[in-house]
Chain A
Amino acid sequence: EAGVTQFPSHSVIEKGQTVTLRCDPISGHDNLYWYRRVMGKEIKFLLHFVKESKQDESGMPNNRFLAERTGGTYSTLKVQPAELEDSGVYFCASSQGARGWTEAFFGQGTRLTVV
């Protein structure tokens, strides 16, 4: 069974440009999470989807970040326009939708560098 897949693995863009990160969760997983790790800092929660709905987006840094989850399947995270401080590794994770705790499986991450 395929795991959580993220595209691209690396992206280098100039300040002011737009970048879109994609996450394909494990098939059948209702929960999808985005996290970010800025260099030298801890991994921080960005937002949580349940199917196609945003359950919690309290971690989104500002309105330059837009996350979508089309039809409750894959998700995209768009940064527009990108700033230098957006550089970091963006992780996606997914888990089943059952009640109670279920393990979240992480993708390999997308390393974003804004120059």
Chain B
Amino acid sequence: AQSVTQLGSHVSVSEGALVLLRCNYSSSVPPYLFWYVQYPNQGLQLLLKYTSAATLVKGINGFEAEFKKSETSFHLTKPSAHMSDAAEYFCAVSPYSGAGSYQLTFGKGTKLSVIP
């Protein structure tokens, strides 16, 4: 079974400041890990993914995340926040099975506000 915990349902940062969104997971098998973003009135968009290759993963819009097995974490960071980053962010885990359903288990989401 898998589960995801996102610390903080709301995070506010100043424009230009570091963005850090926390995600911890549990999984009984080697996981695939994902961050999705949802902008207002839009669907979920994949930001980045970890699929057992490099532990530091770079995604779109300057975001990156590091897979730390010992800490069961996959925190999302961006060095400098932009107003356009305001959105809701979801961490998700999927069991690696090699085939079949890549059913995603999501965290509750973190709403990011960027203050001018």
Contact = CB atoms under 8 A, between A and B. Distances in A.
Q: Do they bind each other?
A: yes
Q: Interface range on chain A: under 10, 10 to 19, 20 to 34, or 35 or more?
A: 20 to 34
B102 A107 contact: no
Nearest to B103: A45
A6 B29 CA distance: 33
Nearest to A49: B101
Interface string B71-91: 000000000000000000010
A35 B109 CA distance: 15
A32 to B, nearest CB: 11
Interface of A: 3-4, 31, 33, 35, 40-45, 48, 55-56, 59, 91, 93, 95, 99-109
Interface of B: 4, 32, 36, 41-46, 49, 51, 90, 92, 96, 98-109
